[in-house]
Structures are given as structure tokens and as C-alpha cells.
């Protein structure tokens, strides 16, 4: 189970890096800019989480496999993904949803290993899943996707809450972890399939 989770975590890291590469390509960045944008997207959230929790050194310093995955992914994507529109529209969002769900579960789990507050753990789960994308969009001078109407951060919050509720009802931590991943994934996939979004807040001029 742990080895499978680790592989899925690396898969999510690669997918998040690809999303950074695609945005960098649309902005016509040089190779260094591509790697920077891919890196912050892939490990930015986890880095913020570890620094907030005082978990030093941060995870990618302890395990440099994450850095190699990002570097190889960025180079491969720069060579192969010249026309991202030729990919089926659902491929990247679905892969992103899998990575997001795993990131949230890992974020909540790690936060609970350092402190006891469920609320803090849920927030750390959201940061792990969404933090890298926020940094990516800010660097690209775009409004972060999680601040718009798309059901993305909301799926993380509900998934993290599912983790906490499962523990409150006495479930085994592994069951709570799977509950978080499945809940987040189902909500995110439903949002992709049926284009679900939250109502927007707009003031009359």
C-alpha cells in the first residue's frame, strides 16, 4: 500500500509539473522558466505545508526523487507536447484529479502527525493540493483557478473533512485516508464531467 501510494504521489507530481509546462509554453517562456513553473506547480503546495508545520527538511530535500521526476517530466513535456489541444480534452484534468486527491490525503495525514487540530489538517490538505497551482498562476499573472468558481479547492475541503469525520467516528487511519482520496476524486471528476461550479460573488456597479 505504501509503495503504491508513493508511486501515485510521484505520478501526481509529474502531472502537476506538466500543467506548469503547458502554461509556460503558452507564455513562451525559456527552458529555465518552464522548469521553474513546472517545479513550483508540482511541489509548491507540499513545500508550504512542510514549512508551516515545521517539518524540516521539506520532503523533496529528504527524497530527491521528486526533483528528478519534475526535471525529467519538464524536459520530456517540452520535447513531446507541442500541440496540447490534440490530446483528448479529459486526459489532463482526470490525471490532475487523481494527483489532487492523493496530495490532499497526504497533506491531511502529515498535518495530523505534527499536531492534533482537524481544522489545521484540512487546511494543510487544501494547501498541499492547491498551493502549487496558486503559485503557478500568480507567477503567470493569472487569477488562481482555486479563487474562481470551479469546484477545485471545494473538493479538497470536502475530502479533507471526510478524513476528519472518519477519524472522529473511530475508523482506522488508512480507512480515513482512502475516504479522503475517494471523496476528493469523485467530487473533482463530477465537476469535470458535468462542468460544476460555485456561484460567483459580484457587486453591482
Using 50, 70 and 90 to split pLDDT, how confident is the model at 90?
A: confident
What average pLDDT score do residues 145-172 get? Answer: 93
* Model pLDDT for residues 161-189, shown as the tens digit of each residue: 999 999 999 999 999 999 999 999 999 99
The SS3 of residue 150 is: strand
pLDDT at 202: 80
How many Å separate Cα 174 from the centre of its chain? Answer: 20
67, pLDDT greater than 60: yes
Give the Cα separation of 90 and 8 in Å (integer).
19
> pTM of this prediction?
0.94
148, pLDDT greater than 90: no
How confident is the prediction for the chain on average, in pLDDT? 92
Q: Which of 146, 173, 50, 160 is nearest to 105 (CA)?
A: 160
Exposure class string for 135-153: b at 16+ Cβ within 10 A, else e: bbbebbeeebbbeeebbbb
Give the Cα separation of 154 and 168 in Å (integer).
21
Give the Cα separation of 10 and 73 in Å (integer).
11
140, pLDDT greater than 70: yes
What average pLDDT score do residues 15-32 get? Answer: 92
List, in sequence order, the alpha helices (H) in the chain: 2-26, 31-53, 59-62, 65-80, 91-114, 118-139, 153-168, 173-194
173 or 87, which is more confident?
173
How large a percentage of the chain has pLDDT more than 70?
A: 97
Cβ 50 vs Cβ 75: under 8 Å: no
84, pLDDT greater than 80: no
* Model pLDDT for residues 98-137, shown as the tens digit of each residue: 999 999 999 999 999 999 999 999 999 999 999 999 999 9
Amino acid at each position: 500500500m505504501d509503495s503504491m501510494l508513493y508511486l501515485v504521489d510521484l505520478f501526481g507530481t509529474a502531472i502537476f509539473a506538466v500543467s506548469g509546462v503547458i502554461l509556460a509554453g503558452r507564455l513562451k517562456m525559456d527552458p529555465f522558466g518552464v522548469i521553474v513553473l513546472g517545479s513550483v506547480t508540482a511541489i509548491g503546495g507540499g513545500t508550504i505545508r512542510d514549512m508551516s508545520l515545521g517539518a524540516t527538511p521539506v520532503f523533496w530535500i529528504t527524497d530527491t526523487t521528486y526533483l528528478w521526476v519534475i526535471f525529467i517530466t519538464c524536459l520530456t513535456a517540452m520535447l513531446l507536447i507541442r500541440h496540447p489541444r490534440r490530446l483528448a480534452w479529459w486526459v489532463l484534468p482526470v490525471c490532475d484529479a487523481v494527483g489532487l486527491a492523493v496530495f490532499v490525503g497526504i497533506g491531511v495525514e502529515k498535518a495530523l502527525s505534527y499536531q492534533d487540530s482537524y481544522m489545521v489538517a484540512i487546511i494543510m490538505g487544501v494547501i498541499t493540493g492547491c498551493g502549487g497551482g496558486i503559485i503557478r498562476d500568480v507567477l503567470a499573472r493569472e487569477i488562481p483557478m482555486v479563487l474562481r468558481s470551479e469546484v477545485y479547492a471545494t473538493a479538497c475541503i470536502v475530502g479533507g473533512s471526510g478524513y476528519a469525520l472518519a477519524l472522529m467516528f473511530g475508523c482506522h487511519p488508512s480507512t480515513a485516508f482512502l475516504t479522503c482520496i475517494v471523496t476528493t476524486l469523485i467530487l473533482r471528476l463530477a465537476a469535470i464531467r458535468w462542468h460544476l461550479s460555485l456561484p460567483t460573488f459580484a457587486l453591482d456597479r
